Amino acid sequence: MADPEVDLSKKYDAVIIGSGAAGGMAAHVLTTHGLQVLLLEAGKKLNIEQELRSMEWPYDNANRGGLPPGSHSLNHNEYTIRRPPYGPGFEKSKNLYSYIGNSDYMKNIVVNERDNPYTGTNYAWVRARCLGGKTNIWGRLALRLSDYDFKAKDRDGYGENWPISYSDIAPYYDKVDLYLGITGVKENLPHLPDSIFQRPTKLNCAEVTLKQGIQKMGRVLTQYRAGVTTDGLKHNKYRSRCYGRGACSRKGGCDIHAAFDSPTGLIYPAMDTGNLTLRTNSVAREITVDPETGKASGVHFTDSQTMKDYTVRGKTVIVAASTLESARLLLLSKSRLYPNGLANSSGHVGHNFCEHIMGPHVAGQATDLVGKPPTLDDGRPGSFYLTRFRNLAEKHPKFIRGYGFEGGSGSSMFPPGTDSSGFGASFKEEIRKNQGSYIAMGAFGEVLSRYENFVDLDPVVKDKWGIPALRFHYKFGDNEHRMAEDMKETAQEMFEAAGLKIIFVSDRVLTEGWSIHELGTARMGNDAKTSVLNQFQQSHDVKNLFVVDGSAFVNASCQNPTWTIMALCWRSCDYLADQLAKNEL
């Protein structure tokens, strides 16, 4: 279906750029306030149920779920031995995807690296250019941050505090929980606040063994807190409750939308208000500025299919293109008034870029489960989360901040161990006997926000639409490497404490970017000299410009960011609507 012609004569109350977690939430909140909103999305509107095919059996897929011939997804070694842009050296592959695009179900969701190059230091940049962005395939772990994160500087003296406290954002986390649905179990931890949970999933035998084994160490393993509705949402006709089909771990997304995704969770309901105009295939290339007032006046974009250019006008502009793309867009929006890019008088746009370090992990076995009858364990939208325990009550001598583990165990369609060597009846017997007894977990740790970790525009390389590519200047530092050593040691120590047989322990750190939790490129703060946005994600320099995605984070914490992105965005959009009504923007 052709995209609608946008009414260029109209001045929208708000023009939103990007339709993922942040842009979708902005559309929901602002249309609920009765504002006339235009949502510009660079990618296509996909028939997402057709893409995800959650219930398709591997043998019904021509490639057993793998990529078709002529397509390639980058692996860890390739990220290590090549430098971006990752096109050269892969000439035989017509389509080239990031490491996450390694299945037939992802190939239309993640970008083709050839059309969307970037340069600089090694970075596994995962982008999803389609309606809903990365929320179509996200892992769903939905965690809150706490004052251990918002006020981290007060605890260890490093970096900056956020301009908000947990009490400012807590009511908005509640709103997100209730509007979108989340499953989990209350633990009453000060560093990982509870949500308003729907029906929890169950831990299986090996997971309970680990949970109990580490209790004596004061460590907490809890059910995966998934951004999934397990009880259903009466107010949303586009989403079903989770039927525990266990398919989400195989295919990335959920074709009945029990797992939150931005289109069904936020954008379709916003369209039902009659206040939202959606235009997909619309690549924003510049935020335009009124030279008289210095305020944002609208957005200049290119139709990704026809290559035609358009300019739309808005009373406010809301940037939600995802952390790195948002920084790129601000840097692209240079003008006589803003020669360093928009909202960049501090020089901090693109800087303080941070995320999570990944790689260290442990795999083991609950030997008492070997030979036991199989159990139905994969009917869950997630397994377990082992919460942060470093630098809470005590100070670690070698590093600051913390990390948590995501892991799982149990029977599944492709049980771990199927890569064991052997053949015939004895091989099958070996697999059957051991399946269900394996357990593994991997860590996600905070990468410190540092000014010298940054992105800027490449002076030469451009994308398919002639827009300058992003250039990375980003590396993990000593704190991260020391933390990674500790991740390996504690993973091993906890499996031992629980009496699990250790099969494999690794301290190998994955390429920068692997966590897909990029943050911090337009951070919030009270000081306009060292931050880009105020506590409402409003530009210090341009008061009708808001940047409502992970760019605003002051530090990465070690908790996954998406629930916080949406809670912050809700708070900021309430503020925006209020200010607009008072004619203050």
Ligand X SMILES: Cc1cc2nc3c(=O)[nH]c(=O)nc-3n(C[C@H](O)[C@H](O)[C@H](O)COP(=O)(O)OP(=O)(O)OC[C@H]3O[C@@H](n4cnc5c(N)ncnc54)[C@H](O)[C@@H]3O)c2cc1C
Distance (Å, whole) CA 355 – CA 71 = 28
Q: Kindly identify the residues of this chain, within the stretch 225-244, that bind ligand X according to CB under 6 A.
A: none
Which option in ligand SF4, ligand X, none does residue 247 bind, with CB closer than 5 to 8 A by kind? ligand SF4
The span of 25-33, 240-248, 280-288, 304-312 binding ligand SF4 (CB under 6 A) equals 240-248
Using CB under 6 A as the binding rule, whether residue 42 contacts ligand X is answered as: yes
Compute how many residues bind ligand SF4; rule: CB under 6 A: 14
Query: Shortest distance, CB of residue 247 to ligand SF4, whole angstroms?
Result: 4
- Residue choice 39, 233, 248, 319 for contact with ligand SF4 (CB under 6 A): 248
- Residue choice 6, 12, 14, 18 for contact with ligand X (CB under 6 A): 18
Using CB under 6 A as the binding rule, whether residue 329 contacts ligand X is answered as: yes
Nearest-5° Cα angle at 452, 467 to 528: 80
350: alpha, beta or left? (left if phi > 0; alpha if psi -120 to 50): left
Using CB under 6 A as the binding rule, whether residue 256 contacts ligand SF4 is answered as: yes
Using CB under 6 A as the binding rule, whether residue 244 contacts ligand SF4 is answered as: yes
Using CB under 6 A as the binding rule, whether residue 322 contacts ligand X is answered as: yes
Written as one string, the DSSP assignment of 96-135 is: EE-TT--STTTTTTBPPTTTS--EES------B-BTTGGG
The span of 146-154, 172-180, 245-253, 401-409 binding ligand SF4 (CB under 6 A) equals 245-253
**Is the distance from CB of 300 to CB of 310 less than 8 angstroms?**
yes
- Residue choice 6, 16, 23, 365 for contact with ligand X (CB under 6 A): 23
Using CB under 6 A as the binding rule, whether residue 318 contacts ligand X is answered as: no
Query: Shortest distance, CB of residue 248 to ligand SF4, whole angstroms?
Result: 3
Residue with tokens 């940054």: 454
Using CB under 6 A as the binding rule, whether residue 74 contacts ligand X is answered as: no
The span of 82-90, 146-154, 174-182, 242-250 binding ligand SF4 (CB under 6 A) equals 242-250
Q: Please, which residues have CB within 8 angstroms of residue 428's CB and are 6 or more apart in sequence?
A: none
Measured over the CA atoms of residue 372, residue 377, residue 378 and residue 379, the dihedral's sign is positive
Using CB under 6 A as the binding rule, whether residue 41 contacts ligand X is answered as: yes
Closest by CA to 18, choosing from 242, 227, 263, 194, is 263
The span of 179-187, 314-322, 387-395, 502-510 binding ligand X (CB under 6 A) equals 314-322
Q: Kindly identify the residues of this chain, within the stretch 81-110, that bind ligand X according to CB under 6 A.
A: 100
**CB neighbourhood size of 394 (10 A):** 8
Distance (Å, whole) CA 576 – CA 518 = 25
Tokens of 391: 């630098």
Closer to ligand SF4 by CB, 39 or 258: give it.
258
Residue with tokens 């929980």: 177
Residue with tokens 């251990």: 148
**Is the distance from CB of 200 to CB of 185 less than 8 angstroms?**
yes
Using CB under 6 A as the binding rule, whether residue 242 contacts ligand SF4 is answered as: yes
* Site map (CB under 6 A) of ligand SF4, residues 366-405, x = contact: ---------------x------------------------
Q: Please, which residues have CB within 8 angstroms of residue 391's CB and are 6 or more apart in sequence?
A: 155, 156, 399, 400, 401, 402
3-class SS of residue 460: strand
Site residues, ligand SF4 (CB under 6 A):
54, 228, 242-248, 254, 256, 258-259, 381
Q: Which residues bind ligand X (CB under 6 A)?
A: 17-23, 40-43, 100, 126, 128-129, 133-135, 137-141, 282-284, 320-322, 325, 329, 516-517, 549-550, 560-562, 565
